[in-house]
Chain A
Amino acid sequence: MNPRRIRAVARKETFHVLRDFRSLYLAFAIPLLLILLFGYALSLDVEHLATAVVDHDRTPESRDFARRLDASIGFDVVAHPPTTAALTELLDGNRVVLGIVIPPGWSADLKAGRPGALQVVVDGSDPNTGGNARAFVTAVVAQANQRSLLAALNRLGRGPMRPPVEGRVRVWFNEDLESRNFIVPGMIAVIIMIVGALLTSMVIAREVENGTMETIRALPVTAGEFLLGKAAPYFVIALVDVLLSILMGQLLFGVVMKAGFWLMILASTLYILVALGIGLLISVLTRSQLVANQVAVLATYLPSLLLSDFVFPQHNMPAALQGVSRLVPATYYIDILNGLYLRDLGLERLWPSFLTLAAMAALVAALNVRALRKEGL
C-alpha cells in the first residue's frame, strides 16, 4: 500500500468526476430532490379521505351523522350523490374512496329502538388507504353506538353512565404519527445506494469499455491501491450527501435526530463503504456500463428500497425473503437510523448492526481485491 499511488488514482478519478460536471451535479441534485419530495409531498398517513354520502333518509339525524363524519380528521364528505348508481360512478372514477348509503327510514328505525342498517362501501384497491378507511369508519360507527347506548341507559334512569373501559393511547417514538419522521431518515439509505453504488458501478466498466484498463494494468499500482483511489472521490460525494440530507431533514421538515451525531457519521461511513464496494464489484464483474447499471439497480437500489424495512415491514414478507433481507446492507443501516432518529438508542443496543455493516464492508473490499487481481492488477 503506497499512499502516493492511492492519491494519484484518486486524483485522476476526481478529475474525471469534475470534468463530467453533470454526473456530479446530479449526485447532489438527486438527494436534494428526494428529500424535498419525501419531506414535503409524500405521506402514507391517511387523512381527509374523500367520502360520498347517499342520504335517502333526509332527516336531521342522518345529516348529523354525515356532519360528524366530515368533522373527523379521517374523512371529508365531498359529494352527496342522489343514487347508489351515481355513487358507483364516483368510486369507479377514483373520485371518492368511501361511500355511505343511509337507507330511507333509517333514523325512524333508530328512534324506535330497532337496528338501523348503514351501508358502507370502501374502495379497497389501495390496501393501505382502504384498510385505514375501513378501520376508521368502523370506529366512528362503534363510537356512535356507544354514545346512544349510554344515552339509552341514562333514559332508563340508571344515573349518568360512563363507558366502563377507556383506552388511553400513547404513541411512542413518533409521537405525532407523521410518516415523514420515518421516511426522511430511511430515504438517506436509498440515496446513498443510488449515488454510491450506481455511480461507482460505471467506473471500472468505463475503463474496460474505453480500453484504458490495459494502461492501468501496466502501471505499478496494486489492486488495493487502485480500489481505494477509485472509491475516494465517491466517498466524499456520498458523505456530503448524507450531511445535506441530515441538514435538510432537520431545517426544512423538523425531522430531528434524537441520538448522537457522531454515531450517525460512523454508521454512514460504514454503509457508504459497503455501497461503494458493491458498485465497484459490479463494475469489475460486468465490464459493460449498460449491464453494470442494470445490475446495480437490481442489486442495490431496489433491495434498499423494498427489502430494508424502509416503508414495507419485513415481518409481512414470506420467510425466504426475510432471509434475503438480512443480506441487504440497508436493513442494518435503517435499523441504526431508526434507532438514532426515533428511539434515541446508543451503541449498547445498536452494536450488532454496526458490526454487521463493518463485516460487510470488509467482505466486499476483499472480493473486490480478488476480482481486480484476476483482472491483472
Chain B
Amino acid sequence: MRWTRVRELVRKEFIQLFRDRKNRPLLVIAPLVQMILFGYVVSTDVRDVSLALIDQARTPESRRLIDAFDGNPTFRVARVLDHPRELDRLLLERRVDLGLQIPPDFSARIRSGETAEVQLIVDGSMSNMAAVRIAYATGVIDAFNAQLLRELHPARIDYGEIDGRVRTWYNPNLDSRPFYVPGIVAFLVMLLSLLFTSMAVVREKEAGTMEQLIVTPLRPSEFILGKTIPFILIAQAQMVMVVLFARVWFDVPMAGSAPLLLAASSVFLLSTLGIGLLISTVSRTQSQAMMTNFFFILPFFMLSGFVFPIANMPEPVQWLTHLNPLSHFLVIIRGVYLKGTGFAVLWPQFLELAVLGLAVFALAIRRFRKRID
C-alpha cells in the first residue's frame, strides 16, 4: 500500500469531478433543493380540517354543537349547506374533508333524554389522516356531551373524572420538520455516496480507462481507497452543509452531540460505499449502474422508517429492515436530533451498522479483486 498512489488517484478523482462544470452545482444545489422540498412538503399534520355542515335542526342546541366545532382549532367550517346532495358533491370533488349532518329531530331527542344521532361523513382516501380526523371529531362530540349532561342535570355530580394530562415529548408541537429533516440528511448522504461511487468506477469501464488503470502499478486496495476517499470527504462535507442549512433555514436544532453524528455517518458510509462498489462490479454501463442503484435505494428508502414506520410493517419485513443500513442510521440521527440520546442508548444501532458495513465492504473488495485480477 503506497499512500502516494492513493493520493494521486484521489486528486485525479477530484479534478475529474470538478472539471465538469455541470457537476459543481449538483454537489451543492441538488442536496439543498431536496432539503427544501422535503422540509416544506413532508407533513401529514392534521390541521385546518375543512368541514361542511348541514344543520337541519336550526335550534340553539345545534348551533352550540356547530360552535363547538368552529371553536376547535383543528376544524374550520368551510361551507354551510342546505341539502345532503351538495355534501356528496363537495366530498367527491375533494373540497371538504368532513361533513357533519345534524338531523331535524336533534333538539327534540336531546330534550326528551334520548340520544340524537349526528352523521359524520369522512373522506377516507388518506386513511391515516382520516383516522385522526375521526378521533378529533368524536372528541369534540364527547366534550359537548359532557357539557350538555352537566347542564341538563344541574345537581352537583361528583363522578371522579379522569384528568388525562397528555404531554408530548421530544417534539411537543408534533411538527413534521424535526422528524423528517434529520431523515433527509441521512437519505441524502446515502443517495450521494451510492450513486457517485458506483458511477465513478463504471465511468472508467465505459470510457475504457479501466484497462489503463489496471496496467499501472496501482493495487486493487489502493484503487478502492482512491475511489472512495473523495466521496467520504464529499459526503461528510455535504452532511455538515445540510445540517447547518437545517439549523439556519428550518430552525431545526440538534439536541445531541455533533461528533457522535459524524462518527455515525462514517460507519454508515462504510456500507453505502461498499454497496456502491458492489454495484460497480456488476454493472458495465452507467445506465445499468443507475438502474441497479435505484433497485437498492428504493427499498432502502421505503423500509427505513423514513416515512413509513417500521412498527407498522409485518414482522418478517421488520426483520429485513435490520439488513438496511439506512434504518439504523435513521434511528441514530433521529435519536441525536430529537431525543438527544447518546452512545449509551444508541450502541446497538452502531454495532449493527458497523457489522453490516464491514461485511459489505469486505465482500465488495473481494469481488473487486477478482474483477481486476
Chain A residues near B (Cβ < 8 Å):
20, 22-23, 26-27, 29-30, 33-34, 37-38, 40-50, 89, 91-94, 97, 109-132, 134-139, 141-146, 148-153, 156, 158-159, 161-175, 177-179, 181-182, 194, 198-199, 202, 206, 286, 288-291, 293-295, 297-298, 302-303, 306-307, 311-313, 315-318, 321, 338, 342-343, 345, 349
Give per-residue flags for B125-168: 1 if the beta carbon is below 8 A from chain A beta carbons, else 0. Answer: 11111111011111101111110110011010111111111111
A89 to B309, CA, bound (A): 20
Set of chain A residues within 8 Å of B93, measured between Cβ atoms: 349
Q: How far is the CB of A239 from chain B (nearest CB, A)?
A: 18
In the complex, are the beta carbons of B110 and A116 less than 8 A apart? no
Cβ-neighbour of B160 out of A111, A288, A297 (below 8 A):
A111
In the complex, are the beta carbons of B287 and A23 less than 8 A apart? yes
Please list 26 pairs of residues, one from A and one from B, whose beta carbons are closer than 8 Å in the complex, sorted by A's number: A22-B292, A26-B295, A27-B291, A44-B312, A45-B128, A109-B160, A115-B161, A121-B168, A124-B172, A131-B45, A146-B145, A148-B162, A151-B159, A156-B153, A156-B157, A161-B113, A164-B149, A168-B120, A169-B137, A171-B122, A171-B130, A173-B123, A289-B286, A298-B34, A312-B44, A338-B125
A209 to B195, CA, bound (A): 19
In the complex, are the beta carbons of A126 and B309 less than 8 A apart? yes
Pairs A-B, 8 closest by C-beta atoms: A113-B158, A152-B159, A110-B160, A135-B135, A174-B124, A141-B164, A44-B128, A124-B171
Set of chain A residues within 8 Å of B143, measured between Cβ atoms: 142
In the complex, are the beta carbons of A135 and B43 less than 8 A apart? no
Give per-residue flags for B273-303: 1 if the beta carbon is below 8 A from chain A beta carbons, else 0. Answer: 0000000000101111011101100110011
Cβ-neighbour of B37 out of A40, A111, A290, A307 (below 8 A):
A307
**8 A Cβ contacts from B83-121 to A:** 91-94, 106, 110, 113-121
Q: How far is the CB of B362 from chain A (nearest CB, A)?
A: 24
Cβ-neighbour of A26 out of B144, B158, B294, B314 (below 8 A):
B294
Task: Judge if B80 is at the interface, Cβ distance under 8 Å.
Answer: no
A115 to B106, CA, bound (A): 31
A298 to B26, CA, bound (A): 10
Max chain A C-beta neighbours (<10 A), residue from B137, B294, B312? B312
Chain B residues near A (Cβ < 8 Å):
20, 22-23, 26, 30, 33-34, 37-38, 40-48, 65, 91-94, 106, 110, 113-132, 134-139, 141-146, 148-149, 152-153, 155, 157-176, 178-179, 191, 195, 199, 203, 283, 285-288, 290-292, 294-295, 298-299, 302-303, 307-309, 311-314, 317, 331, 334-335, 338-339, 341, 345
In the complex, are the beta carbons of B120 and A169 less than 8 A apart? yes
In the complex, are the beta carbons of B172 and A170 less than 8 A apart? no
Closest partner residue, chain A, to B203 (CB atom): A290
Max chain A C-beta neighbours (<10 A), residue from B92, B110, B142? B142
Given A30-B294, A121-B167, A122-B169, A131 and B132 contact (CB-CB distance below 8 Å):
yes
Max chain A C-beta neighbours (<10 A), residue from B34, B41, B130, B312? B41
A91 to B45, CA, bound (A): 22
Set of chain B residues within 8 Å of A97, measured between Cβ atoms: 311
Interface of A is mostly: helix
Cβ-neighbour of B41 out of A119, A297, A298, A317 (below 8 A):
A317
In the complex, are the beta carbons of B110 and A164 less than 8 A apart? yes
In the complex, are the beta carbons of A33 and B298 less than 8 A apart? yes
Set of chain A residues within 8 Å of B195, measured between Cβ atoms: 293-294
In the complex, are the beta carbons of A43 and B46 less than 8 A apart? no
In the complex, are the beta carbons of B165 and A165 less than 8 A apart? no
In the complex, are the beta carbons of B158 and A114 less than 8 A apart? yes
Closest partner residue, chain A, to B309 (CB atom): A129
Set of chain B residues within 8 Å of A134, measured between Cβ atoms: 166, 168, 174
Q: How far is the CB of B110 from chain A (nearest CB, A)?
A: 5
Given A167-B138, A311-B44, A194 and B127 contact (CB-CB distance below 8 Å):
no
A97 to B310, CA, bound (A): 13
